[in-house]
Chains A and B, each alone.
Chain A
Amino acid sequence: MPAARSIWNGTITFGSVAIPVKLFSATSPHTLRFREVRASDGATIEHRRIGAESGDEIEYADIEKAYDEGDDGQIVLTKEEIAAAEGTHPKVIAIEHFVRAEEIDPVFYDKPYLVGAQDDGVHGYRVLLAALEKSDKVGIGRFVLRSRENLVAVRPLGGALGIQTMRFDDELVDKSDLELPSLRKKPGAREVKMAGALVEMLQGDWEPEEQHDTYRDAVMDLIERKRHGKEPKKAKRKPEDGGDLADALEASLKGGKPKRKTAAERKKATAGASSAKAKASSGGSKSSSGKPSSGGSTSTATKRASAKKKASTTKKKPSTTKKKAAS
């Protein structure tokens, strides 16, 4: 992983305690980066800003933002004027109060960041971290990131301080905002019982390290096939459902499907995948570098990784593994 660079430097305050900190993104997504191209010939696409009426190209330096007021025209604001909305202390994460961690539904949590201490902040950082860990509380505050003020939760994250931006209540879509068909058709008692048994069979522990992205490998594989002029594999669609609910449940319970891997299979898959990961990461920061670079061994590394991982990814197959707790 490339050396992490902080994306924000500032101060966390609670009470009159001020802690100078730096912020790092806590995520580095696996997204494959593609170029925008013309479908017919693969020519790369450039974006050009033009006047909507004149069609003349407009320089970035000549662009301002305007608020549309419909028939009343528009109000143009300079960048400095828009920045005034950031408030008067853009470099401070001010904790307003604390709440009990378990009261926050995860739907409110948005993007996570890791917090590091600046030199003068180490002591305060450690006091706040220790106190949050001990009290199982979360600090709620606000701060400006990328020109936008966010509501944030300050909480322990993997032994460090973390902050996570939060969604506002009125950004969430409630049930009352949805158009729903009537859900009054109740399943039968027998179906409920069987489904309950199936849930029990599938109960397990949350072991996120065991879960790996396989679609990314499939796309890399597809790229390789196309590159060598082979047809993409024929898509096999699953038959759509049409069967009887009770029959399907019964068959599932008899081992028609539940396909949790056995411990041995899982171990194998994890071993394969982690070696794949090691290889892929030796290819550098390709996936996060904005565009696929043309040089270097990166795509070969990824390809090798994908081949390796594919060999170890077990196909969906029936398994009789039962709920862990029960065995």
Chain B
Amino acid sequence: MARSLWTGSLSFGLVNVPVQLVSAVRDRDVHFHQVHKETGERVQMQRVASTDGKEVDWEDVAKGWETDDDRMIVLTDEDFEAAQPDKTRTVDIDLFVALTDIDPVYFDHPYWLLPAGDGDGPIRAYRLLVDVMAKAGQVAIGRIVLRAKEYLVALREQDGLLSLTTMHFADELRTPDDIGAIPTGKKGKPTKREIDDAVALIGELTDDFKPSRYDDCHRVRLLRLIDEKRKNGEVEIPEHDPEPAPQKAPKDLMAALEESLATARARSKKGGGTATSRGGSKRRAKAG
């Protein structure tokens, strides 16, 4: 099981529940080492002080803040803990909201929030929170400090346990206005018929969301090319397909929509559905 990244207390009213945080995501990427391209010697990262060139052990590394008058303020882990001691060891719940009210754009990293220790009292308190949140069908909003940064968090009941997801603060999210992303005005304004056709096309291409059908094709391809290199000593590098050309004139866009719609309808008539997950059944290829 994954190590706990944080232990502390979940506070709900005056009830404090000892809890630990475990990541709900595991890294399944294919990993590489850095090596010297000729000798194959493994590369190591060494930390040295810029002033005297001496190696610095990991335990002697701290965080430095450069002031505007060129002084370096050194901050240790204890300093970060002490900055707001209540916050660094407690997740305070002080609001319950409907999950569907939160746009997923707010969500960052998911964790499991598990009971710490197995004393009778703490377990009962944990169970109480699980049960009551399952019943309320709502998520609890609180805060947590992780790696010297504060996050908003959403807690909810999942599978009889509590999950915690870190969230962005509203002012950490860019709005479309910030980047001028929303095309407005007359240019390219869609007609009703175009929208209707696009909605119909989306309808034809709609399927249930089944997360297990999606493979990590990138991982599969990486493992395949490692294999190829092992066998042949080289890897065949494929040419890139040309980028598809946009439909510049409105009539071309309309034609593309109608053509796609006709194709999709013909396919669903044949009963082929929209199964498009690439990589098919090779799910859960082990990543070394």
Contacts and interface: CB of A to CB of B under 8 A. Distances in A.
A158 to B, nearest CB: 5
B211 A48 contact: no
A140 to B, nearest CB: 8
A259 interface: yes
Interface in B196-213: 198-199, 201-203, 205-209, 211-212
B34 A49 contact: yes
Contacts of B198: 17, 127-128, 130-131
A320 to B, nearest CB: 14
A175 B261 contact: no
**Residue among A25, A47, A216 with max Cβ neighbours from chain B (10 Å):** A216
A311 interface: no
B175 A158 contact: yes
Nearest to B263: A15
B32 A67 contact: yes
B6 interface: no
Interface string A190-209: 01100110111011111011
Contact of A75 (B39, B226, B278): B226
A49 B48 CA distance: 11
Interface in A83-114: 83-92, 95-100, 102-104, 106-109, 112, 114
A243 B124 CA distance: 12
A249 B43 contact: no
A296 to B, nearest CB: 6
* Chain A CB within 10 A, most for which of B85, B163, B187, B244: B244
Contact of B63 (A36, A43, A112): A36
Contact of B179 (A66, A116, A174): A116
B74 A30 contact: no
Given A38-B49, A74-B33, A173-B2, A211 B152 contact: yes
A108 B212 CA distance: 11
A79 to B, nearest CB: 10
A257 B104 contact: no
B36 A51 contact: yes
B190 A170 contact: no
Contacts of A71: none
The CB with the most chain B CB atoms within 10 A, among A27, A132, A192, is that of A27
Contacts of A19: 246
B240 A74 contact: no
Interface in B108-144: 110, 112, 114-115, 117-118, 120-133, 135-136, 138, 140-141, 143
B259 A123 contact: no
Contact of A252 (B15, B62, B195, B226): B15
A150 B174 CA distance: 21
Contacts of A103: 208-209
Interface residues of B, number: 193
B67 A17 contact: no
B130 to A, nearest CB: 8
A275 interface: no
B222 to A, nearest CB: 4
A31 interface: yes
B229 A37 contact: no
B271 interface: no
Contacts of B216: 149, 151, 168, 170-171
A256 B209 contact: no
A191 B195 CA distance: 53
A8 interface: no
Nearest to B115: A181
Interface string B20-58: 001111111010111111111111111111111000100
B188 interface: yes
A267 interface: no
Contact of A148 (B67, B81, B218): B218
Contact of A47 (B18, B47, B247): B47
Nearest to B154: A106
Interface string A38-61: 111111111111111110001000
26 contacts: A16-B244, A17-B253, A27-B172, A29-B172, A36-B64, A38-B49, A50-B44, A66-B33, A122-B187, A127-B194, A135-B199, A150-B218, A173-B2, A173-B23, A173-B112, A196-B135, A202-B140, A203-B96, A214-B150, A219-B83, A226-B75, A226-B79, A232-B79, A234-B82, A248-B16, A258-B13
